Amino acid sequence: MITFDKEGETPLDDISGLKLKKITSRKELDEAEAQNILKAYIRYTLTSSTLKKTEFNLSFFRKLHYDMFGDVWSWAGEFRTTQTSIGVEANKIHQALYQLQDDLKYWEKEWDYHETATRLHHILVKIHPFPNGNGRWARLATDLWLLKTGHNTLLWGGNITEISVSRSEYIASLKEADNGNYERLKEFMFGRKKV
């Protein structure tokens, strides 16, 4: 069995659905997922003309998650069916993502890109639609939205998949956003832009 114990990480005790049967350690799993995510990142960022036409909707969100994790997990791109420690109730995921689509259209008209990207990222994490990989998926989705709208991607505080001050700050800023205060998350996201 592989153990999962990083701060803020969705526990994944059940490794059913793991496509790569040769994986026996957390390190091997992390490496396989990282390779899959890199492949998706390259695919989406190198097709910026396609990205410009992409609608950030339910289909896109599912496809992005599948492209990020589909080489490793059979459930990639499928919404979770059980309740997790965070996230909307499983039976309300579709409704929450449809609401986000509408909200995003409004935000794009009314707010600057900093505010829009911050809220987009927070709500994606808050909905937590997939069994696992939600944070990484939400960060890439936010980066792709930034690219689509003509802005730079983010550094996300360095390697926030590792337990570190950056990861702790990221999680704390998300919790503040849960309470309606987006400033700390916005600072975390945009105080560390790529140059």
Q: Please give the pLDDT value at position 160.
A: 45
User: What's the pLDDT at 59?
Assistant: 97
Q: Is 65 helix (H, G, I), strand (E, B) or coil?
A: helix
CA distances 47 to 43, 50, 57, 132, 136, Å, are: 6, 5, 18, 26, 20
Residue 95 identity = Q
Q: What CATH number has the domain spanning 26-190? A: 1.10.3290.10
Contacts of 103 (CB under 8 A, 6+ apart): 119, 123
Q: What is the pLDDT of residue 45?
A: 87
pLDDT at 167: 86
> What does residue 18 show for φ and ψ, rounded to 5 degrees?
-70, 115
**Closest among 158, 118, 141, 167 to 45, alpha carbons compared:** 141
* Angle, in degrees to the nearest 10, between helices 183-190 and 113-127: 110
Query: pLDDT at position 130, please?
Result: 98
Residue 36 and residue 130 in contact, taking contact as beta carbons nearer than 8 Å: no
pLDDT of residue 193: 45
Other CB atoms within 10 Å distance of the CB of residue 95:
12
The domain limits of the chain are: 26-190
pTM: 0.88
Tell me the mean pLDDT per 10 residues along the chain, length 195.
51 77 90 95 83 92 98 98 93 98 98 98 98 96 96 76 73 97 96 53
